[in-house]
Each structure stands twice: as C-alpha cells, then as structure tokens.
C-alpha cells in the first residue's frame, strides 16, 4: 500500500476525529446516514420522473356534448396504483428499491465495520493457545475495542511472565536436585554390595530421567517456534528409517501433502508416539490419512492395549498405568502428554483407542485450515 500524502493524512485524521468513538455511536451514525441518503435519493427520483402538468385541453368534440349543450366529463381511469401513469408507477418502484438497497448496503457495511475488531480479537485468542509469543494486538478502533485489545495484551504479557518465572523456578529446582543426585551416584560406586548398587543406580537414573523429561515438557509448552511448510511425508519416512536402522519394526502407509507446522515440535510428537509403540508393542505401524480439511497420522502397536477407563487418563502428566513396566522401559509418564500438547498447539486433537485385533491406536489429527496458520 502506497504511503499517504500529508493532505491525505490530515483528511484521514479529521474524519477519525469526527467519527463516533463507540460502537453505539457508529451504528447510530450509519443508520441516520442510511435513512437520509435513501430519502434524498427517493425524492430526487420521484421529482425527476413525475408526469408533466399538461396545458388546458381543447374543447370537447360535438358528440361529447350533453342534451342541454354542456360537455360530458371524459371517462377517467379506475382508481388505484396499477392504473396510475407508467411514469408514476416507475417512480414509486424506484423509491422502494432505492430505500431497500440503501438500508441493506448500510447494514452490510455496518456489520463488517463493527465486527472487524471482534474477528481480529477472536483470531488472536485462537493463536494465543498455539503461540504465547505472538505479536500483541494493535490497540486501535473504538473505545470498546481498544479496551478489549489492551486487556488481551496485558493477559498475554502476564501469561508469558508466569511461564518464564516457572521455567526459572524449575531450572533452579532441577539444579538443586541434580547436585545431590550426583553425590549419590558417586557414593553408589563405592558400595560393596552389587545388588544394592544396582538398585541405587536404577532409582537415580529414574529420577534423573524424570527431571530431564519435566524440563523438556515445560520448555515445549512455553517455547516459541516458527511455523513453516513441512514435507510431512519425508519426515515420517525419515523417522521410520531411523527406527529400522536401530533394529525396530516400523512401517509407513499412505501419503501426506506438506503441512504448515512447527517442525521441531512435530518431530518430537511423532518420536514420542512411535517410541511408545515400539517400547510397549514391539513394533509400530504409521498410517497417513490426508484429506482436504485435515491430516490424520495414526500410530498402531501390537501390544496389550489399555483398559478403556485409562485411555484418557494416560494423557495426564506423569500418569502411568503400570509403574513397574514404565520403570523397566525408562518412561516417566510424559510422552503422550507432550504429544497431546503439541497436537493441540496445531489446532488438532490426539485420540486413543484399542484396535479390534489387539494393540493401541493413537490418532493425531492436524487441521489444514487453522486461523492464522493457513
């Protein structure tokens, strides 16, 4: 858009000063202007198209005289609008049409004019759930819109500050916890009992893994990452190749077109899903279902599955169905939680179900049309 000249800027500022500063004032101004314009146009057309006044008509012909010599009145048309002259009918039709068109146009423009700040606020609220570091809203428009934008920006700043403080607190706590863990690890090496040494090592490793996973989870929630168009098909194929190279059975079926995502977060999400399938089911089957409105990535394993009442609870942080199995596999109950949060940041949903033939199916749905990220 070309920059405004000084004259245009001054004219725009003058119009803004004369424009009401509230939604009610703007709506009232539009309605008043619509009524005035519609009446002016309608009256103008009626006067322009009204029939001309004829002059004095000539005298009646002889056969139009009565017996006493007086002229007979000419037969007039039947009363009613449809028997009015065509020009008058056209004028009335144009009158109604102009009034209706002016009111409809004013209502349409008023709706767009008044709802634009609300649509912008709704879009910002949707984006905030996916990117806490998004650009603040411009505080312009009517008084109500400025107040709403200011409160929204203050809320976003407070959330950002709270997340930063939480990160600093958790980092400090993790540092304080790792210091005694390091001392315990060193003292464990001096134990003479091999069995006790092994138990200590396992517990220390589990605590260390829990601290690391918690920090990764919190960084993923608060971290900012750019949105890019990613070749999801290549990403999934690459992950499957990596798992096969490590000796795991991972297959990929289906095709997927590029998608606008946070690349690192998506990789982490799929790593967790495939890793869980390999860890608990021995293998993973990745199926891509691409559609015009959403991309669905399903990861299935052939393990024991989950009890129906646990399908939702396993998405909670640190929740583990079988603590013993998670200790043996090294999990701390955050893998599915992290994956679910990442999918939600993309505007989608993570759903779990037991497969008919056995095993667990985890479906991650990524909408292709998300506000702000088309």
Q: Tokens representing 206? A: 């589990």
Dist. CA 264–CA 334, nearest whole Å? 17
Supply the DSSP symbol for 308: G
pTM > 0.85: yes or no? no
Q: What is the pLDDT along the chain (374 residues), one digit of tens a residue?
A: 567 788 878 887 787 777 777 666 777 777 777 777 777 777 676 666 655 555 455 555 555 555 555 655 655 554 444 555 676 667 777 877 787 788 778 777 877 777 788 788 888 887 787 677 788 888 877 787 888 889 999 999 998 888 788 778 777 777 777 788 888 888 888 777 788 888 888 888 877 877 777 777 766 655 567 788 999 999 999 999 999 999 999 999 999 999 999 888 899 899 999 998 998 888 999 999 999 899 999 999 988 888 888 888 888 877 777 643 444 555 567 788 889 988 988 889 999 999 988 889 999 999 987 534 44
Dist. CA 227–CA 262, nearest whole Å? 5
**247 Cβ partners below 8 Å, 6+ apart?**
none
Q: Which CATH number is associated with domain 226-374?
A: 3.30.565.10
User: What pLDDT score does 78 carry?
Assistant: 46
Q: Which residue has the tokens 């009335």?
A: 92
Assess contact for 277 and 300: CB atoms under 8 A: yes
Pairing of strands 249-253, 283-290: parallel
Supply the DSSP symbol for 373: -
Dist. CA 51–CA 363, nearest whole Å? 75
SS3 call for 320: coil
Rg (CA), the chain: 37
Nearest to 174 by CA among 198, 210, 205: 210
User: What pLDDT score does 259 carry?
Assistant: 93
End-to-end C-alpha distance for the chain, whole angstroms: 23
Kindly give the residue spans of alpha helices, DSSP state H, lying in 129-142. none
As a residue count, the chain comes to 374
**20 Cβ partners below 8 Å, 6+ apart?**
26, 28, 29, 142
């Amino acid at each position: 858009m070309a920059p405004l000249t000084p004259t245009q800027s001054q004219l725009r500022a003058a119009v803004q000063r004369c424009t009401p500063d509230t939604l009610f004032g703007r709506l009232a101004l539009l309605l008043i202007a619509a009524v005035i314009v519609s009446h002016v146009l309608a009256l103008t057309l009626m006067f322009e198209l009204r029939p001309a006044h004829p002059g004095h008509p000539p005298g009646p012909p002889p056969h139009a005289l009565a017996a006493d010599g007086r002229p007979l009145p000419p037969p007039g048309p039947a009363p009613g609008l449809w028997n009015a002259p065509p020009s008058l009918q056209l004028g009335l039709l144009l009158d109604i049409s102009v009034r209706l068109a002016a009111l409809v146009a004013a209502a349409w423009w008023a709706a767009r004019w008044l709802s634009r700040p609300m649509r912008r606020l709704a879009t910002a609220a949707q984006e905030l759930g996916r990117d806490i570091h998004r650009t603040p809203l411009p505080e312009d428009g009517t008084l109500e819109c400025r107040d709403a934008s200011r409160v929204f920006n203050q809320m976003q700043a407070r959330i950002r500050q709270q997340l930063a403080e939480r990160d600093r607190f958790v980092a400090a706590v993790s540092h304080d916890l790792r210091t005694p863990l390091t001392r315990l690890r060193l003292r464990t090496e001096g134990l003479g009992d091999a069995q006790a040494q092994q138990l200590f090592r396992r517990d220390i490793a589990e605590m260390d893994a829990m601290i690391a996973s918690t920090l990764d989870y919190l960084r993923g929630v608060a971290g900012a990452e750019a949105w890019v168009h990613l070749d999801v098909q290549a990403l999934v194929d690459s992950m499957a190749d990596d798992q096969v190279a490590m000796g795991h059975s991972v297959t990929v079926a289906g095709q997927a077109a590029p998608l606008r995502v946070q690349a690192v977060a998506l990789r982490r999400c799929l790593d967790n899903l495939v890793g869980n399938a390999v860890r608990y089911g021995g293998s993973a089957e990745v199926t891509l279902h691409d559609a015009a409105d959403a991309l669905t990535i399903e990861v299935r394993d052939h393990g024991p599955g989950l009890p129906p009442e646990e399908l939702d609870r396993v998405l909670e942080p640190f929740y583990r169905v079988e603590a013993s199995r998670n200790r043996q596999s090294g999990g701390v109950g955050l893998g599915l939680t992290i994956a679910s949060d990442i999918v939600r940041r993309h505007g989608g949903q993570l759903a779990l179900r037991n497969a008919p033939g056995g095993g667990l199916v985890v479906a991650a749905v990524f909408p292709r049309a998300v506000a702000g990220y088309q």
